[in-house]
Amino acid sequence: MGYNSEFRRSIDQRDEFWREQAAAIDWITPPDTIWRAKANGHGEWFPDGVLNTCDVALDANIRAGRGDQVALIYDSPVSQTQQSYTYNQLRDAVARFAGALKSQGIRKGDRVVIYMPMVPQAAVAMLACARLGAVHSVVFGGFAPHELAVRIEDARPKALITASCGIEVSRVIEYKPLVDKAIAQSQHKPEFCVVLQRPQAHADLEAGRDLDWEALMAGATPAEPEPVQATDPLYILYTSGTTGKPKGVVRDNGGHAVALRYSMKLVYDANPGDVFWAASDVGWVVGHSYIVYGPLFAGCTTVLYEGKPVKTPDAGAFWRVVQDHGVNLLFTAPTAFRAVRKEDPEADHLQRYDISSLKRIFLAGERLDPPTYEWLKEHTGLPVLDHWWQTETGWAICCNPVGIEMMETKPGSATVPSPGFNVQVIDINGAQVAAGEQGQIAVKLPLPPGCMTTVWGDDDRFRKTYLDPIPGYYSSGDGGYIDDDGYVFIMGRTDDVINVAGHRLSTGEMEEVVASHPAVAECCVVGAHDDLKGQVPIGLVLIKDGATIDHDELEEELVEMVRDRIGAIACFRRAMVVDRLPKTRSGKILRRIIRQIADGEDYSVPSTIDDPAILEEISEKFRG
């Protein structure tokens, strides 16, 4: 069957289609009901199915005879470690850690925050939670204590799992002081913390609260998988929205397992035994879906890489990993290859390695710029496949469906909608636009399995953000168009979300931090184009009347505040003092135009602008 007929069937015979896909999963009780409506066109998948996600990822592979196959390879140039776990070994480690958590009182439905670097124990902790039916919430290690505190406060975890340190290119980052600070800031306090001691830094443990990972493991009795309803939450993953309060995207167990299993074939054409490497971090959705769960659901070997594309030690790092582990499928963010290309424009490093195992390269997380696409294609001679998705959807909304039919690629396009996603382009009045015309990208409800079920603790926010803006549709927050051949082109966010080196961040949140400086009267933060990172934030600030602070000093303080509150990953390095901000007559800051000015693009002066002369003043500032 070709792509078109599979896509049509997924929409026209939805339940039959997903019942077939669900059969690929080892259920405890297979679902009878496939989809049940809730409200506003939204619904739940496989509501009467029972399974355990960890069992599907590990035990089911062992039952299928893959116990001695390598499940996970840990490759860490920053700690000079390589280590692999077979499915048997990984299951044993996970069952033991699950037993350890159980002995400390963790039960089905309890939340566990995981704040860890890219070590195999991060995946072990996630899978151990899944084994108990506990809900994990992984927080990216690059976030500052304040961000961690906000997530602890919202998820209200019973336990927090961390390590003594993370290792960056030029420094060791001690995690324990960050965790202590976050817990001190949060109203909610976890009952206990588990700390993995790494040789690069020793963490002091607080008596009565902190437990040593190794000691806990040594005395633990392995735990069996706990049966959960398909609709029970598997995890909460916080993602940036338009305000300072991140949204806790909730993912279920059953829909997630079915969708990811299907996506491994559809999007990546991954088969059992393939070596799959998603060069990302477990703190992001890519890490959840394609470092931990997806490859294991599909019986692949997954690579967990603690390093960077460059400087660990050089721009040949990715090719070295491909060679060392016989990687067949590689997935990363375009920014990673922009960094490689910048340091090694002629791809000289590629000549040093044998990458003949590699079949395809997949990119997502931000727009794949045509020069990076062409460079990769030219130097590797491999298919380079863009796909578009979001934390909210958990798997590709649009892809080149290589598992069914390899389609022609078009630079700048994420190709076609994945079966299950009825993608349409809608104008501001809620009407569908003609082919080639730009608008908001929306998905006609219901969403397929695997997508977010709600915002943790705030169903109202879920509806208001995603379902209410265009009735009957899921609003993606991205703008773009579909061409005459049905190819989807994603042009960028229509809200205050920006993408910095593949990291999703909120300019609204940065504005809140900048605005809290005592000398700042008003401010706005926009994402400006950056050749390496895709986008970087730039602040425009108005100083309060009477404040006498030096502009450079203010910039330094603001940069430090954003680093301290959000984290170094925000890459907020520029704050310009201006006399006025361009606004509409109703007082709305014209952020889009500021961004166009920052990027040196042409812009049209809107009729609603309060005073057009301000735009020239701002342009002057950027030129200066």
- Interface residues with ligand COA (CB under 6 A) are 141-142, 166, 168, 173, 279-281, 284, 286, 308-310, 332-333, 335-336, 339, 365, 501-503, 568-569, 571
Contact (CB, 8 A) for 179 and 160: yes
- Report CA 512 to chain centroid distance, whole Å: 23
With CA atoms as reference, report the closest residue to 188 among 158, 211, 163: 158
Partner from ligand AMP, ligand COA, none binding residue 387, C-beta < 5-8 Å depending on class: ligand AMP
Least Å distance between CB 466 and ligand AMP?
A: 12
Q: Residue count at the site for ligand AMP (CB under 6 A)?
A: 20
Partner from ligand AMP, ligand COA, none binding residue 328, C-beta < 5-8 Å depending on class: none
- Comparison of 414 and 442: residue with beta carbon closer to ligand AMP: 414
- Comparison of 142 and 145: residue with beta carbon closer to ligand COA: 142
Partner from ligand AMP, ligand COA, none binding residue 166, C-beta < 5-8 Å depending on class: ligand COA
209 to 248: interface string for ligand AMP, x by CB under 6 A = ------------------------------x---------
Residue 366 as a binder of ligand AMP (CB under 6 A): the answer is: yes
Residue 384 as a binder of ligand AMP (CB under 6 A): the answer is: no
- Comparison of 140 and 466: residue with beta carbon closer to ligand COA: 140
Least Å distance between CB 439 and ligand COA?
A: 26
Contact (CB, 8 A) for 12 and 36: no
- Report CA 543 to chain centroid distance, whole Å: 36
Query: How far is Cα 111 from Cα 143, in angstroms, rounded to an integer?
Result: 19
The token duo for 538 is 């730039």
- Comparison of 173 and 406: residue with beta carbon closer to ligand COA: 173
From the CB of residue 304, how many other CB atoms can be counted at a distance below 10 Å? Answer: 25
Contact (CB, 8 A) for 473 and 40: no
504 to 543: interface string for ligand AMP, x by CB under 6 A = x---------------------------------------
- Comparison of 27 and 305: residue with beta carbon closer to ligand COA: 305
Please give the residues from 397 up to 456 whose contact with ligand AMP meets the rule CB under 6 A. 414
- Give 145's strand partners: none
Contact (CB, 8 A) for 211 and 196: no
The token duo for 254 is 């059953």
The token duo for 59 is 């035990």
SS3 state at 528: strand
Phi-psi region of 175 (alpha: psi -120 to 50; beta: other; left: phi over 0): alpha
Least Å distance between CB 497 and ligand AMP?
A: 7
Partner from ligand COA, ligand AMP, none binding residue 391, C-beta < 5-8 Å depending on class: ligand AMP
Residue 251 as a binder of ligand AMP (CB under 6 A): the answer is: no
Partner from ligand AMP, ligand COA, none binding residue 557, C-beta < 5-8 Å depending on class: none
Helix (H) or strand (E) segment spanning residue 383: none
With CA atoms as reference, report the closest residue to 26 among 60, 1, 68, 74: 60
Partner from ligand AMP, ligand COA, none binding residue 310, C-beta < 5-8 Å depending on class: ligand COA
**From 290-298, 381-389, 431-439, 614-622, span contacting ligand AMP (CB under 6 A):** 381-389
Among 244, 316, 477, 527, binds ligand AMP (CB under 6 A): 477
Place of tokens 């609003």: 475
Residue 391 as a binder of ligand AMP (CB under 6 A): the answer is: yes
Query: How far is Cα 118 from Cα 76, in angstroms, rounded to an integer?
Result: 8
φ, ψ at 525 (rounded to 5°): -120, 130
- Comparison of 335 and 507: residue with beta carbon closer to ligand COA: 335
Contact (CB, 8 A) for 110 and 158: yes
Query: How does 138-163 read in b/e, with b if 16+ C-beta sit within 10 Å?
Result: bbbbbbbbbbbbbbbebbbbbbbbbb
Indicate the pairing of strand 422-426 with strand 439-444.
Answer: antiparallel
Place of tokens 């470092």: 291
Partner from ligand AMP, ligand COA, none binding residue 333, C-beta < 5-8 Å depending on class: ligand COA
Contact (CB, 8 A) for 582 and 550: no
- Comparison of 19 and 338: residue with beta carbon closer to ligand COA: 338
Least Å distance between CB 491 and ligand AMP?
A: 8
- Comparison of 286 and 525: residue with beta carbon closer to ligand COA: 286
DSSP string, 19-86: HHHHTTS--SB--S--EEEEETTEEEESTT-EE-HHIIIIIHHIIIIITTSEEEEEEETTTTEEEEEE
Residue 388 as a binder of ligand AMP (CB under 6 A): the answer is: yes
Query: How far is Cα 430 from Cα 614, in angstroms, rounded to an integer?
Result: 33
- Comparison of 183 and 569: residue with beta carbon closer to ligand COA: 569
Partner from ligand AMP, ligand COA, none binding residue 335, C-beta < 5-8 Å depending on class: ligand COA
Contact (CB, 8 A) for 225 and 59: yes
- Report CA 477 to chain centroid distance, whole Å: 15
Partner from ligand AMP, ligand COA, none binding residue 499, C-beta < 5-8 Å depending on class: ligand AMP
Please give the residues from 97 up to 136 whose contact with ligand AMP meets the rule CB under 6 A. none
Least Å distance between CB 346 and ligand COA?
A: 19
Residue 386 as a binder of ligand AMP (CB under 6 A): the answer is: yes
Among 102, 151, 261, 493, binds ligand AMP (CB under 6 A): 493
Partner from ligand AMP, ligand COA, none binding residue 596, C-beta < 5-8 Å depending on class: none
R_g (Cα) of the chain, nearest Å: 24
Kindly state the DSSP code that residue 349 receives in the 8-state scheme.
Answer: G
Chain positions contacting ligand AMP, by CB under 6 A: 239, 285, 364-368, 386-391, 414, 477-478, 490, 493, 499, 504
